[in-house]
Homo-oligomer: A and B are copies of this chain.
Amino acid sequence: MMAPTQALSADRCARSAGLASKSGSSFFQGQQVFCRSAVVKSCGVTRRQSVLVVRSSQNTVIIGLAADSGCGKSTFMRRMTSCFGGSPKPPAGGNPDSNTLISETATVVCLDDYHSLDRFGRKETGLTALDPKAQDFDTMYEQTQAIKDGKSIDKLIYNHVTGLLDPPEKISPPKMYVIEGLHPFHDERVRNLCDVKIYLDISPEVKFAWKVQRDSKERGHSVESIEASIKARKPDFDAYIDPQKKYADIIIQVLPTQLIPDEKEGKVLRVRMIQKEGVKLYDPAYLFDEGSTISWIPCGRKLTCSFPGIKFQYGPDTYFGEEVSVLEMDGQFDKLEELIYVESHLSNTSAKFYGEITQQMLKNSTFPGSKNGTGLFQTMVGLKIREVYEKLMQKEVKPMV
């Protein structure tokens, strides 16, 4: 964190450099700000003047993503990395059961790799994988800190096939390091290393519908066994996973639709993007008018939608005692191209040009949730992360076309 004296001198420098006064709050954690004298040529006149230099002291941006299993983390990852270009792949030549994904900019590690108890150890002790006592938070913290400091780490691999901890893989510090899993915000030290904290909050009804879709229709499990497994996980989920959402900067909440009474199949979704206020690195996105409460049914004279249509909502709220702005989408697009009409009424989206959200959604239209709010808000969070990355790294990410 910048010392107050540095902020003051940067402020003075900004003024003497003829810039609009930059208050200390315009600089971010991980930035070095100093003043130097430079020769400046302006309108054909060469002169010496004070110049404000902002340099990133941070080599790696850390993103934390919390969610239960089967809640769309990997789709989120694909949408997010899509905003940076390149597609994430497992480490070349390593353990084929590695959970790590590496793209040009980002390395994504799964926090299951920090299980302190393997499947057999958990069976022995009666602890679930959701229990903090089954995690090694000290190593999780030390290794994440090392990555942030620009050092390579040797991280164990939790093998989801065998249930054992496999020998370590070497992870080099990337530009962006994403820790995803059950407990990214449980340990205060790890939590404080995260530059952006995202929580995917899937309501029990939708989680059940999704698990039935994946485990019953695709993997042949019985609906009863899925129900039993969810029920067994619930106490630890409620005790250890769910409470982390209060620490998140952005929560993507997925609920059953309110447009169709008693719809429980999870086919039509109401998705809410809960954005904490007062985050320094970006402004929350809003619909039409910042800070007021709005509901919007775009279907009408200009946009025809089939049943049950689409309804957006936006407004201020509180979330665990903190001020938030909530953007909500219930329903789904008939044609993804129509998103451009919605995009025209969104502001502070962190898009680099009008139409970028629609373009991203069209590019990734085969991903699950592309026609509903999960796809839209995952994309919008991806763009927010890009903005944070650019600010902290003082580096421009070219928009991916």
Inter-chain CA distance A300–B290, complex, in Å, is 9
Cβ A300 vs Cβ B291 within 8 A: yes
Distance (Å) between the CB of A354 and the closest chain B CB?
A: 16
Inter-chain CA distance A289–B298, complex, in Å, is 8
A345 close to B (CB within 8 Å): yes
A43 close to B (CB within 8 Å): no
Residue of B nearest to A289 (CB): B345
A297 close to B (CB within 8 Å): yes
A300-B315, A300-B316, A315-B300 known; A294 vs B294 contact (CB < 8 Å): yes
Contact of A292 among B289, B290, B292, B296 (CB under 8 A): B296
A302 close to B (CB within 8 Å): yes
Chain B contacts of A303 at CB under 8 A?
292
A288 close to B (CB within 8 Å): yes
- Chain A: residues with Cβ within 8 Å of the partner, total of 19
Distance (Å) between the CB of A307 and the closest chain B CB?
A: 15
Chain B contacts of A290 at CB under 8 A?
301-302
Chain B contacts of A294 at CB under 8 A?
288, 294-297
Number of copies of this chain that the complex holds: 2
Within 8 A of B (CB), among A185-208: none
A300-B316, A316-B300 known; A288 vs B291 contact (CB < 8 Å): no
Within 8 A of B (CB), among A74-90: none
Within 8 A of B (CB), among A304-360: 315-316, 345
Question: Most B CB atoms within 10 A — which of A292, A293, A295, A302?
Answer: A292
A-B contact pairs, 21 of them (CB 8 A): A288-B294, A288-B345, A289-B296, A289-B298, A289-B302, A289-B345, A290-B301, A290-B302, A291-B300, A291-B301, A292-B296, A292-B297, A292-B298, A292-B299, A292-B300, A292-B301, A292-B302, A293-B297, A293-B300, A294-B295, A295-B295
Given A290-B301, A294-B296, A300-B315; 5 other pairs, CB 8 A cutoff: A288-B288, A291-B301, A292-B296, A293-B300, A295-B295
In the A-B complex, list the 4 residue pairs whose CB atoms are closest, starting with the nearest. A291-B301, A293-B297, A292-B300, A291-B300
Interface of A toward B, CB cutoff 8 Å: 288-303, 315-316, 345
